[in-house]
């Protein structure tokens, strides 16, 4: 039995073996507490052997540093502490602990010595690790060299806790407003974030990410954490809402309820507003806008006017007594049609299709037939006509060299061709009074 008592403690209380393949190793602090529970003893040397390696019985793959402090704990008085010398032995896994002053030092009952190994990398294999001790002491019975051992347990490594608390810094963003996603998790995972249209690999030591493009519509982000050793994956999702979303397409199977619909491009923000009577179309400036379509199939149209596509096209307005047709300048315009089926026509004149064609006016007496170059009564061709009275100055044959008849107060003149030479009256029977 040793003269002194040896006890080992660890922080954390249960140290885990380091999992093979992990980026980071399991670490802990090992305390070896040495006390005197019996009679007064002088000590000159304590040797502690640490098992080094990654096997079942090993504590650590690399020999750590050891420090020591001796406390004089005299009962009823203030305890005092002093450092002791701790030297690793060359080419061994042994630490030699000696009094600070050298030689032998008193180790009274109640005093204690604490040897500390901090940030020890724990071996990769679970199981007990045994520290062996050799002490050299002296008491009333003489000098003694005795041995003992103390053990600690390396537990099997636990599964790495899944990442958690994946969230945006704001749940609702405006158009073009950036956001940052953050989470908590182990550096032992490979991280990536999935989002519509792509994904981003994240460094294992990073716990935040800002999307390069601000979301335009409600967007779900998925955090994928992959265990680098087991390849087990964990998935966390979070959704960010956009205050004024931009949609590429929208399919609604039961309908859409909204006050208005508006464009998104600057300069093209026309709006459709839904009223109690139908819809209103507004332009980019907010005034009444234009509907452009290939065809409109309507039961009726109420409008102040109708015009062609160009600003100088003709226009039709709708006064109370019918409609007015105007040309691009605003003057009276022309109606072009193949046929008109009307109950009546009120007009000042009628002319052929060409500007050189003759034209007809409608005086109070009846009608007048004109040529282009003057307003005199001119050539009239009639297939058949029945009149109570025909008033005319000249009657000519159908051919240019036919004779003609003029009407004078005394009677009539018969002339030949185009000239003024007297012509001949031909008749089957002529009865004259003179």
Using one digit for the tens of pLDDT, what is the confidence trace for 206-233?
999 999 988 988 999 999 999 998 899 9
69-83, 109-123, 386-400, 404-418: range with lowest mean pLDDT:
386-400
- Cβ of 221: how many Cβ atoms within 10 Å? 22
Q: What is the mean pLDDT of residues 64-83?
A: 84
Q: How many separate domains does the chain show?
A: 5
Q: What's the pLDDT score for residue 413?
A: 86
Do residues 298 and 288 both lie within one domain? no
In a domain, residue 62? The reply is yes
pTM as predicted: 0.55
Do residues 25 and 82 both lie within one domain? yes
Q: What's the pLDDT score for residue 380?
A: 63
Q: Chain-wide mean pLDDT for the chain? A: 88
Q: What is the mean pLDDT of residues 52-59?
A: 96
- Cβ of 418: how many Cβ atoms within 10 Å? 12
More confident residue, 383 or 335: 335
Q: What's the pLDDT score for residue 418?
A: 74
pLDDT per residue over 166-180, tens digit each? 999 998 998 778 899
Do residues 98 and 195 both lie within one domain? no
* End residue of a domain, out of 128, 155, 182: 155
Domain containing 420 equals 355-434
Q: What's the pLDDT score for residue 350?
A: 86
* End residue of a domain, out of 213, 242, 271: 242
**Is residue 379 pLDDT above 70, yes or no?**
no
Q: Is residue 26 classed exposed, middle or buried when 0-12, 13-18 and 19+ CB atoms within 10 A define those classes?
A: buried
Do residues 143 and 197 both lie within one domain? no
Do residues 286 and 298 both lie within one domain? no
Q: What's the pLDDT score for residue 175?
A: 76
pLDDT per residue over 309-325, tens digit each? 888 899 999 898 888 89
Q: What's the pLDDT score for residue 76?
A: 60
Do residues 119 and 41 both lie within one domain? yes
For residue 150, give the CATH number of its domain: 2.60.40
**Is residue 398 pLDDT above 80, yes or no?**
no
In a domain, residue 346? The reply is no
Q: What's the pLDDT score for residue 433?
A: 62
Do residues 284 and 386 both lie within one domain? no
Do residues 31 and 129 both lie within one domain? yes
Among 221, 232, 157, 233, CA closest to 183: 221
In a domain, residue 144? The reply is yes
CA 132, CA 150: separation in Å to the nearest integer?
A: 6
CA 33, CA 122: separation in Å to the nearest integer?
A: 20
- What are the structure tokens assigned to 131, written together? 């520290």
**Is residue 430 pLDDT above 70, yes or no?**
no
Q: What's the pLDDT score for residue 381?
A: 60
Q: What's the pLDDT score for residue 376?
A: 57
Do residues 31 and 143 both lie within one domain? yes
Q: What's the pLDDT score for residue 417?
A: 78
Cα→Cα distances 98→44, 74, 107, 354, Å: 6, 21, 12, 133
Do residues 26 and 121 both lie within one domain? yes
SS (H, E, C) the chain: CCCCEEEEEEECCCEECCCCCCCCCCEEEEEEEEECCCCCEEEEEEEEECCECCCCCCCECCCCCCEEEEEECCCCCCCEEEECEEEECCCCCEEEEECCCCCCEEECCCCEEEEEEEEEECCCCCEEEEEEEEEEEEECCEEEEEEEEEEEEEECCCCCCCCEEEEECCCEECCCCCCCEEEECCCCEEEEEEECCEEEEECCCCCEECCCCCCCCCEEEEEEEEECCCCCEEEEEEEEEECCCCCCCCCCCCCCCCCEEECCCCCCCCEEEECCCCEEEECCCCCECCCCCCCCCCCCCCCCEEECCCCCCCEEECCCCCCEEECCCCCECCCCCCCCCCCCCCCCEEECCCCCCCEEECCCCCCEEECCCCCCECCCCCCCCCCCCCCCCEEECCCCCCCEEEEECCEEEEECCCCCCECCCCCCCCCCCC
For residue 207, give the CATH number of its domain: 2.60.40.10
Do residues 262 and 311 both lie within one domain? no
Burial pattern 344-365, b for ≥16 Cβ within 10 A else e, equals eeeeeeeeeeeeeeeeeeeeee
pLDDT per residue over 228-285, tens digit each? 988 999 999 999 999 988 777 878 888 888 888 887 778 888 888 999 888 899 988 8
Main-chain dihedrals φ then ψ at residue 269, nearest 5 degrees: -100, 55
For residues 68 and 114, the answer to whether their CB atoms sit within 8 Å is: yes
């Amino acid at each position: 039995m040793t003269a002194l008592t040896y006890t080992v403690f660890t922080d954390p209380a249960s140290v885990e073996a380091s999992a093979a393949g992990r980026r980071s190793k399991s670490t802990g602090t090992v305390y070896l507490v040495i006390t005197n529970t019996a009679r007064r003893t002088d000590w000159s040397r304590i040797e502690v052997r640490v098992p080094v390696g990654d096997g079942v019985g090993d504590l650590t793959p690399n020999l750590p540093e050891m420090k020591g402090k001796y406390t004089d704990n005299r009962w009823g008085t203030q305890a005092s502490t002093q450092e002791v010398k701790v030297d690793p032995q060359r080419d061994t896994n042994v630490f030699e602990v000696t009094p600070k002053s050298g030689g032998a030092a008193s180790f009274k009952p109640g005093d204690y010595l604490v040897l500390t190994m901090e940030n020890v990398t724990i071996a990769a294999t679970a199981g007990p690790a045994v520290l062996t001790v050799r002490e050299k002491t002296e008491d009333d019975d003489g000098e003694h060299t005795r041995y003992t051992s103390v053990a600690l347990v390396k537990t099997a490594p636990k599964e790495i806790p899944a990442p958690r608390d994946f969230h945006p810094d704001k749940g609702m963003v405006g158009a073009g407003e950036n956001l940052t996603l953050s989470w908590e998790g182990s550096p032992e995972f490979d991280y990536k974030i999935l989002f519509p249209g792509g994904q981003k690999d994240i460094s294992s030591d990073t716990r935040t990410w800002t999307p390069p493009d601000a979301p335009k519509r409600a967007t779900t982000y998925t955090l994928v954490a992959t265990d680098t050793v087991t390849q087990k994956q964990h998935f966390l999702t979070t959704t960010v809402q956009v205050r004024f979303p931009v949609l590429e397409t929208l399919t609604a199977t039961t309908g859409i309820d909204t006050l208005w619909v508006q464009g998104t491009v600057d300069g093209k923000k026309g709006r459709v507003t839904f009223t109690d009577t139908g819809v209103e179309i507004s332009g980019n400036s907010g005034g009444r806008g234009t509907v452009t379509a290939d065809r409109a199939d309507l039961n009726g149209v109420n409008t102040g006017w109708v015009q062609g596509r160009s600003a100088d096209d003709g226009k039709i307005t709708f006064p109370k007594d019918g409609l007015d047709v105007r040309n691009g300048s605003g003057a009276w315009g022309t109606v072009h049609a193949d046929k008109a089926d009307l109950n009546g026509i009120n007009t000042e004149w009628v002319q052929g299709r060409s500007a050189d064609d003759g034209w007809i006016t409608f005086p109070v007496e009846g009608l007048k037939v004109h040529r282009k170059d003057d307003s005199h009564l001119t050539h009239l061709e009639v297939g058949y006509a029945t009149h109570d009275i025909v008033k005319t100055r000249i009657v000519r044959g159908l051919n240019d060299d036919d004779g003609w008849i003029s009407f004078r107060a005394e009677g009539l003149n018969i002339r030949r061709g185009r000239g003024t030479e007297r012509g001949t009256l031909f008749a089957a029977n002529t009865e004259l009074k003179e």
